[in-house]
Amino acid sequence: MGSTYRDYFAQLKAKVHEEPPQRVSELLGPDIQLGDVREKNEWDEGFIPGAVHVPKSYLEQWAEERLPDKNKTTILYCAGGVRSVMAADTLAKLGYRNVISLAGGFNRWKDSGFKWEKPETLSSEQAQRYSRHLLIPQVGEKGQQTLLRSKVLLIGAGGLGSPAAYYLAAAGVGTLGIVDSDVVDATNLQRQILHSTERLGEPKVDSAKQTLEALNPDVKVVGYRERLTSENIDRIIADYDVVIDGADNFPTRYLLNDASVKWNKPVVHGSIYRFEGQVTVFKPHEGPCYRCLFHQPPPPELAPSCAEAGVLGVLPGVIGTIQANEALKLLLGIGEPLVGRYLLFDALDATFREVKLRRDPKCPVCGEHPTITEYIDYEGFCASPGEWEAQHKLQGAAAAD
């Protein structure tokens, strides 16, 4: 009996079907199962696209789950083509009908110039930073990677945008776009926690970028130091997954609404006035949009006065944080977002109420026969919409009911 390793391996090689990289690259396709039998640290350095990871040490246990069809052609590879020969023999014993080992393994595959990719894995710093997310099954490593790839656009780096952006950055949302044309003003600091006394007079987008990137270097902050207009909104919004609306004026609210319906982007809407806050999610074609509630901006004579509206400093913290929560749910696809639900918070009573909102079939933007098909740059509003929305919440809700 051949008792040396060399003899043993020669016997195996004689039994196992091997193919070089060129032939394997031709075979790969939907009818092929491809398994990488290397260890995790090797897999982490790169693998052949479409492969599943079945380390040789777990092959027997994992094969049925990861390479489920024993009648399909199964191709295995390792680093140099030795372990995959042994693994191929093992699979044949488990009943796999046609198993091929990649001759020369991943190394020859790579050297021959065929495609490979690196798996997305969290670095050890990221695994630490996001460890409390990794402990939640609904987020986990996959969810965290989703967040790191996600892009959220914040309209305004003010009262609502500050806490929302702060928490999204902490959570590891990879790209935060911030639209704000203002500079930091002393009256902002009572609630706009991204900014600080030493940054008075600096553009808010720059101040926000400093704070957020200091908190989490994984986050890329893209500042847009401009007002949203019909000219720039398509360019700005197109790239993002979710929009957080903390706008403080009617023209932006309506423009953003119309663009979000056009681009099919969910908008997490927040609104504050004195002690009252409101949050909802406008998800195009699933729930109502802003115009379902208020078809047009109020006529200037009915709009709230041009005086600045007062607000309790912590209120935007509560509402903006709920907006961040909704954005995370939308990005991760978990929970029940506030679609068609208007959440009202009264800071004095410390009560939450919820009002159902329905789509308006006559909505000029998302209704059955849209009448507004181009962007409108409304002019002549100096008032903040928060007061208007606070006064009209029930009419709006009733009209939609």
Closest distance of CB 364 from Zn ion, Å = 8
Residue 7 in contact with residue 48, Cβ under 8 Å?
no
Task: Kindly give the pairing relationship between strand 32-36 and strand 73-77.
Answer: parallel
Place of tokens 């039994």: 15
Cβ burial, residue 20 (10 Å; 0-12/13-18/19+) = middle
User: Is residue 265 part of the contact set for Zn ion (CB under 5 A)?
Assistant: no
Closest distance of CB 288 from Zn ion, Å = 6
- What angle is formed at CA 71 by the lines to CA 65 and CA 74, rounded to 5 degrees? 70
DSSP three-state, residue 169? helix
Our CB check for Zn ion shows the closer of 104 and 340 to be 340
Residue 244 in contact with residue 155, Cβ under 8 Å?
yes
Token pair for residue 292? 């379902």
Binding characters for Zn ion, 316-355, by CB under 5 A (x = yes): ----------------------------------------
Closest distance of CB 117 from Zn ion, Å = 42
Closest distance of CB 239 from Zn ion, Å = 23
Stretch that binds Zn ion, among 33-41, 179-187, 238-246, 282-290 (CB under 5 A): 282-290
User: Is residue 289 part of the contact set for Zn ion (CB under 5 A)?
Assistant: yes
Closest distance of CB 397 from Zn ion, Å = 14
- How many residues in the shown chain lie near Zn ion by CB under 5 A? 5
Closest distance of CB 208 from Zn ion, Å = 30
Binds Zn ion by CB under 5 A, chosen from 191, 195, 209, 291? 291
Distance of CA 16 to the CA centre of its chain: 45
User: Is residue 236 part of the contact set for Zn ion (CB under 5 A)?
Assistant: no
Residue 255 in contact with residue 373, Cβ under 8 Å?
no
Closest distance of CB 291 from Zn ion, Å = 5
Residue 49 in contact with residue 61, Cβ under 8 Å?
no
Our CB check for Zn ion shows the closer of 54 and 292 to be 292
Pick from 179, 175, 108: which is nearest to 147 by CA? 175
Stretch that binds Zn ion, among 128-136, 167-175, 276-284, 357-365 (CB under 5 A): 357-365
Binds Zn ion by CB under 5 A, chosen from 363, 372, 390, 400? 363
Residue 223 bridge partners (DSSP): 178
Task: Kindly give the pairing relationship between strand 98-102 and strand 73-77.
Answer: parallel
Our CB check for Zn ion shows the closer of 176 and 289 to be 289
Angle between helices 315-332 and 140-149 (to 10 degrees): 110
Residue nearest to Zn ion (CB): 363
User: HSE on the CB side for 261, CA within 13 Å?
Assistant: 24
Binds Zn ion by CB under 5 A, chosen from 91, 164, 233, 292? 292
Q: Given the rule CB under 5 A, which residues bind Zn ion?
A: 289, 291-292, 363, 366
